[in-house]
Structure 1
Amino acid sequence: MLFMRRYDIDWLRVIAIGLLLIYHVAIGFQPWGRMISFITSNEPWNGLWTPMAMLNVWRIPLLFFVSGMGVYFAMRQRNWKELITERTMRIWLPFVFGMFAIVPLHVLVFRYYYKMELRYIFDPGHLWFLANIFVYVLVLSPVLFYFKRNENGKVVQAIRKLFSTPLGLLVVIGAFVAEVMIIKPIPYELYAMTWHGFVLGLLAFFFGFCFVLSGERFIQMLLAWRWLFVSLAAGLFALRIHYFGMQAPGYLVVVESQLWIYSVLAFGHKYLNHTGKVLQYLSAAAYPVYILHMFFLYLGSVLVFPLAIPVQLQFVLVLLFTLGGCLGSYEIIRRIKWVRVLFGMKF
């Protein structure tokens, strides 16, 4: 069977990692950043948080959706044992390595900057996402491989029919609304190492797989409705900012989040479903950049925040230092075979 490569999914993964970098840099300019163990500037930039608040409700869920989509393609030529082995090497190994060797580095930088006792602390840190993804693969593999073996069966055909119309998306939204009504996360954006983040990620991962499984009819439905999706998402964001002061009811945040995601998937497929040298480079670099970025972010913050320069320039310098440090490290990592494996790259 001939499969067409979905380059838009690769682009969305790269873009989501890029947004993660920008978002984490922005936290360093919020007065509450230190409460969640970020190094913060003495000159806050409160206005920066408005666009970040828009991103924050969908950037992590989007990564979970994209991860589920990626597993569909990873399963095409693998049985369940091969998939688990491959995911262990590319997800679990980098997670364990990062928890013991990478995350402690930025913890040390944080403690140094705030004149705390310097000691080694291993912690999942920002790599919690990898642990979640690995668990989802283990838990959902029986169901996903059932779908794979029975792509012409009644269940898969029902899924494809469901997601050929916007009514199918109401089922997805309903599942996420049920999650927030049961778990009641406060705030909604608290994904890391919480039951909310775990269940939300599990749902997004599963539905991401189902979206790709649904094929061309799902894509055409997204494209046909994309302008309505993005208009409604923008309207709900405006309502959240101006009426609720960022803290809208969970069910409204879910609807806004999902509409942003459907918009991104639709516009991404329309304009980004092509490859090139830039995508090939960034797609390979994205994983190591994700693993390393907090260390270079903290190091850049230590170097830049003491400078008597405008806060906007501080933001740009920290972002450039973070990106430059990550890409420079990637250039070293990709040339050493055994190190490549530790950062989730193919041997």
Structure 2
Amino acid sequence: MNRRHDIDALRVLAFGLLILYHLGMLYVGPADDWKFHLKSSYIGDWLEYPMLASSFWRMDLLFLISGMAVHFLRGRLTLPALAWKRTVRLLVPLLFGMAVVIPIQPYVQGVTDGLVEPGFGHFLLRYYTGGPWPAGAFDGWQFGVTWNHLWYLPYVWIYTLLLIVLLPALESSTGQRVIAAIHHLRGWPLLVLPALPLFAYNLLLAARFPQNHALFHDWYAHAGYATMFLYGYAIGTHQGLWQELARLRHRSLGIALFCFTTFVVLDRLGDLLGMSSWSASTHAAFHLCEHALHFVYMWSAIAAVLGWGHQYLNRPFRWLPYAREAVFPWYILHQSVLLAVAYWLIPLKLGPVLEPTLTLLGTVGGCAVLHEYVIRRTRWLRPLFGLDAVPRAASPSLSFTEQTQRA
């Protein structure tokens, strides 16, 4: 199987966008609507729409790419071997991250909010014994410990195991007909139909099960993310479907821009007109239209990313092998480094330009130094960050299938 450089590159870029998104969470307002573990004093309401523009599809794209990874691995491994490999790759870094990397996050949140006493060593002793904590001390205080941004790992693990259980059905004649129907989507149906189940989940589940990233009682998130994961498995490397996504890249980008622009106009219009005076039916119709735009935008944006990526990123960039190895350690590290840097910088009141600039540089520099000089050079530490204990020799024939074992 030829290496899919475009999918490698999209995975790297998607996790890079995650770093920028979490940086934005420090500064986006209104603060009551955009809660985060730590907030700067330089809040900008103008950041809300740029943040929404990526938040509507960013995690969905990552789950879709994770589903592709299972597709690529399926041809090389038995089902038990696949389940074991993904369990080790995902849960070992999760447990290590929760024990070693994550604790700085609840600490800075609790100290900043005045619910945790300063002193990181004392905090760790209490954290490792499960608290108890004052109500609201940090996100996940009810459980004593937290996985914060690493919630993505147990979700991918659960979806992988569920998909493995479903594989005999998916590989049956009936299942292959369903996947073939997806492969034969062309034109407008490819840009609209995959959004419909996601829109239906929103109507049926969103109000009853708000996203909590706690794994349990998170049925709305599971419905959407598991569907995207399944889409990724179904898309796989089907050449005809990828060629169609590339052919439609201008159209999908246009639909995405139109839908998001219309969403913003309607949202601002609702604020200006004062929706509290509207009738219940008008209010419901308005929100139904907004939600429909949200999900058509989400899928068309993902289709545009896949199409443009396949057209221009499917080549062996010199930076890609190193970035492919670095992406998982950077993902595990980035939010803890970000919050540690911000916790130190925010009290200095450096201004709305210098503070975020230094926070970003400190985050990128911290992740780069820890990955290059500590993680990748320490054999026993590498598996704790999702890497092979012994680095694989770079080879032009090494396929994306093999590389995604690190995902």
Q: Which residue of 2 is the match for residue 192 of structure 1? A: 213
Alignment deviations for residues 257-289 of structure 1 (CA, whole Å, 9 cap, x no partner): 001000000001111112233111111111111
User: Does structure 1 residue 132 correspond to structure 2 residue 174?
Assistant: no
CA RMSD for the aligned pairs?
2.5
**What amino acid maps onto 1:96 in structure 2?**
L
Alpha-carbon distance in 2 for matches of 1:33, 1:75? 44
Q: Which residue of 1 is the match for residue 7 of structure 2? A: 9
Q: Which residue of 2 is the match for residue 70 of structure 1? A: 69
Q: Which residue of 1 is the match for residue 83 of structure 2? A: 84
Q: 1:54 to 1:86 in 2, by over 3 A?
A: same
Q: Which residue of 2 is the match for residue 304 of structure 1? A: 345
Aligned residue pairs: how many?
Answer: 342
**What amino acid maps onto 1:267 in structure 2?**
W
Q: CA deviation at 1:86?
A: 0.6
Match of 2:230 among 184, 198, 206: 206
Q: Which residue of 1 is the match for residue 43 of structure 2? A: 44
Q: Which residue of 2 is the match for residue 340 of structure 1? A: 382
Moved more, 139-148 or 294-303: 139-148
Q: CA deviation at 1:165?
A: 4.8
**What amino acid maps onto 2:263 in structure 1?**
R
TM-score (norm 1): 0.90
1:283-322 alignment, distance < 5 Å? 283-322=324-363
Q: 1:205 to 1:346 in 2, by over 3 A?
A: same
Are the equivalent residues in 1 in contact too, given 2:30–2:45 (CA < 8 A)?
no
Alpha-carbon distance in 1 for matches of 2:308, 2:169? 31
Alignment deviations for residues 84-117 of structure 1 (CA, whole Å, 9 cap, x no partner): 1110111111112222332222111222334432
Q: CA deviation at 1:130?
A: 0.7
Q: Which residue of 1 is the match for residue 195 of structure 2? A: 173
Gaps in structure 2 of 5+ consecutive residues: 118-122, 128-143, 271-286, 390-407
Alpha-carbon distance in 1 for matches of 2:102, 2:233? 30
1:124-163 alignment, distance < 5 Å? 124-144=147-167, 147=170, 154-161=177-184, 163=185
Are the equivalent residues in 2 in contact too, given 1:27–1:33 (CA < 8 A)?
no
Q: CA deviation at 1:158?
A: 3.8
Alpha-carbon distance in 1 for matches of 2:174, 2:369? 43
Are the equivalent residues in 2 in contact too, given 1:230–1:263 (CA < 8 A)?
yes
Alpha-carbon distance in 2 for matches of 1:243, 1:10? 36
Gaps in structure 1 of 5+ consecutive residues: none
**What amino acid maps onto 2:382 in structure 1?**
R
**What amino acid maps onto 2:163 in structure 1?**
L
Q: 1:230 to 1:186 in 2, by over 3 A?
A: farther
Are the equivalent residues in 1 in contact too, given 2:65–2:229 (CA < 8 A)?
yes
Q: Which residue of 2 is the match for residue 30 of structure 1? A: 28
Q: 1:250 to 1:185 in 2, by over 3 A?
A: farther
Q: CA deviation at 1:202?
A: 0.1
Alpha-carbon distance in 2 for matches of 1:263, 1:186? 31
Alpha-carbon distance in 2 for matches of 1:199, 1:154? 22
Moved more, 261-270 or 296-305: 296-305
Secondary structure of 2:103's aligned partner: helix
Are the equivalent residues in 1 in contact too, given 2:209–2:220 (CA < 8 A)?
no
Alpha-carbon distance in 2 for matches of 1:21, 1:276? 22
TM-score (norm 2): 0.78
Q: CA deviation at 1:144?
A: 3.4
Q: 1:254 to 1:37 in 2, by over 3 A?
A: same
1:114-133 alignment, distance < 5 Å? 114-118=113-117, 119=123, 120=127, 121-133=144-156
1:199-278 alignment, distance < 5 Å? 199-212=223-236, 215-245=238-268, 249-278=290-319
Q: CA deviation at 1:191?
A: 6.9
Alignment deviations for residues 103-153 of structure 1 (CA, whole Å, 9 cap, x no partner): 222111222334432432421211111111000011111333555687995
Alpha-carbon distance in 2 for matches of 1:253, 1:265? 18
